[in-house]
Structure 1
């Protein structure tokens, strides 16, 4: 697997296993050591590369330990402090103390799912209070992948990442601030947008009236932008495929070629594409992600290996008004529908999805 695939595979592992992690040590073993070894490429069992429980004496305090130090040519380059996976990353005070007594230019605070990267932009040899890069495995930002690659053993480029850190720091912070505004507009945003469309005084009553309107407009704007991108990606048209809506029985007939070649009025939804991305993330542990394709139909959304309708991996039955189903296939290509209440439920069928892909490969 290449770098991005390894990162996606770890992200999938974290989502599948984080509910079972109850201690900080389990977080290190299950998530953080694989991040250091599989993603960054350092040998966690080689003390010349990775030192666990690294001693960092701070002032009068002796024997202070930091969870991991990553070395290159005998010099400490990265410090990693770990938290329990269920804890939110908030304070880096302990890491801040360690930073000034080592040669490291990069410090990382992580709970195994979110990774906050710090350096010393504001004052030499003093760790900044804000991270310059925030990597969230639950919601990977592809624009950060090239920067993260610069910290790998193979492509380590400290000068490049530090020189880019200031822009990363503020662009990332602005993006997160915008995301918060889209979720819950601040009074300043409500007032700003209201002033663009309303000529009266901005009273408390007007604020209360326009708050839900601004919030709704922001969400619709974001949805419209996403839909425009999806239409472009889909070639501004729907894939030909249809089948009369099947009764909601437990087992349905095998996939047929005719199912996937009928011209109908089909609308691909964002939810279907999000479900496809989850199935794709699961399947890419077995094959290259570009081999996982999709075709939409009137009654279901098909996910295929090699865009071959004789190699169905799953079907998403999301067109019903209430219950949603994921359809999975046995060795004879008989489909069994499983009810799901949320997209994340798809992860619970990861082993079945992988088995089906492996069977086609065999």
Structure 2
């Protein structure tokens, strides 16, 4: 069973981050030591870590090798730690730099999570693909300059009071699996393999020989318009089936198209970047199909209709009431697209 985190704790974390005098702290950061003191340590305090939990210059155990120290170790208990590599404020973080953590990570057996940060951006890594080797990409990135509800809901899982490494790693595995599947699927759709075409051809009711001419016709059919049509058929199938526990209603689709129409009236909003994802209990309208770029959340049920834009909630009496929030929706969409 996953850890239940009180809504009050999530609200408190957001309040702490919102009230943090970031500009004042940044002005004090001219080197790495100041970045640690004025940006990184306060960040971990927001997550309820005390000084005795946050150990600077932590000695990674290299056995007979020369001792090396990691910038911080977040001590969770006697068995588990999170390693933190700190860079000076304004340093550009890259996944290549995360590779520097591999030496510490591989030799600190009680660590399953490592963080690379410059005090503004926090990149969370694990060893999902290969044990004891940092993955090439983070499974979660948090920026103290720009965050949404879903970012806060993920970050609170690292709070000292609620953190469960096993649950976090399992969630990270799901993220990596989904991204890997999406990448492989896109690659297959962009350049369909003969094996895929053969499987599809085998299931076609139209009788034809599987030759180069047939393969060429099939490849030409696999384009964006075709995939959109397939997607809509899949969506309709799921709407008519309760097996997944998610039902996309006509009202939600109507609201989506209304909001999309409002947004694309602004030239700064690219229509092809707007999408949606339905969940059990709510419906998100997104940028780039990313759960980290939520424009708004729709909560439609038998009792009420509600739209949530960032932290602002509005009750709707009718779908047309969405027009009242055009400016706020547009500003939110532009911010998510930047």
Which whole-Å deviations, capped at 9, do the CAs of 1:239-292 have from their partners, x for residues lacking one? 9x9xxx9xx9xxxxxxxxxxxxxxxxxxx99569953349946436xxxxxx44
Report deviation, 1:210. Answer: 1.8
1:37 aligned residue (22, 33, 45): 45
* Match in the other structure for 1:322: none
* Match in the other structure for 1:301: 323
Q: In the alignment, does 2:278 pair up with 1:275? A: no
* Match in the other structure for 2:177: 174
* Match in the other structure for 2:160: 153
1:106 aligned residue (109, 112, 119): 112
Normalised to the residue count of structure 1, the TM-score between the two structures is 0.49
The answer to whether the 8 Å contact 2:98/2:116 transfers is no
Report deviation, 1:2. Answer: 3.5
Report deviation, 1:110. Answer: 3.2
Q: What SS class does the counterpart of residue 66 from structure 1 fall into?
A: strand
Q: In the alignment, does 2:331 pair up with 1:345? A: no
The answer to whether the 8 Å contact 2:114/2:126 transfers is yes
Q: In the alignment, does 2:70 pair up with 1:61? A: no
Report deviation, 1:175. Answer: 0.5
Seen in structure 2, the aligned counterparts of structure 1 residues 80 and 269 have a Cα distance that, compared at 3 Å, is closer
Distance (Å, rounded) in 2 between the aligned partners of 1:233 and 1:85: 47
Report deviation, 1:176. Answer: 0.6
Q: What SS class does the counterpart of residue 276 from structure 1 fall into?
A: strand
Distance (Å, rounded) in 2 between the aligned partners of 1:277 and 1:297: 14
* Match in the other structure for 2:133: 128
Q: What SS class does the counterpart of residue 275 from structure 1 fall into?
A: strand
Distance (Å, rounded) in 2 between the aligned partners of 1:269 and 1:156: 26
2:219 aligned residue (198, 207, 210): 210
The answer to whether the 8 Å contact 2:127/2:133 transfers is yes
Q: In the alignment, does 2:100 pair up with 1:94? A: yes
Distance (Å, rounded) in 1 between the aligned partners of 2:149 and 2:193: 28
* Match in the other structure for 1:116: 125
The answer to whether the 8 Å contact 1:56/1:102 transfers is yes
The answer to whether the 8 Å contact 2:56/2:70 transfers is yes
Q: What SS class does the counterpart of residue 66 from structure 2 fall into?
A: coil
Which whole-Å deviations, capped at 9, do the CAs of 1:132-177 have from their partners, x for residues lacking one? 981244898979968973x53213445x44xx84x55653332011
Q: What SS class does the counterpart of residue 154 from structure 1 fall into?
A: coil
Q: What SS class does the counterpart of residue 172 from structure 1 fall into?
A: helix
* Match in the other structure for 1:52: 56
Distance (Å, rounded) in 2 between the aligned partners of 1:213 and 1:301: 36
The answer to whether the 8 Å contact 2:59/2:70 transfers is yes
Report deviation, 1:69. Answer: 0.7
The answer to whether the 8 Å contact 1:24/1:82 transfers is no
Seen in structure 2, the aligned counterparts of structure 1 residues 275 and 170 have a Cα distance that, compared at 3 Å, is closer
* Match in the other structure for 2:276: none
Seen in structure 2, the aligned counterparts of structure 1 residues 143 and 187 have a Cα distance that, compared at 3 Å, is same
Report deviation, 1:54. Answer: 2.7
Alpha-carbon RMSD:
5.8
Normalised to the residue count of structure 2, the TM-score between the two structures is 0.52
* Match in the other structure for 1:352: none
Seen in structure 2, the aligned counterparts of structure 1 residues 181 and 52 have a Cα distance that, compared at 3 Å, is same
The answer to whether the 8 Å contact 2:70/2:84 transfers is yes
Distance (Å, rounded) in 2 between the aligned partners of 1:186 and 1:103: 40
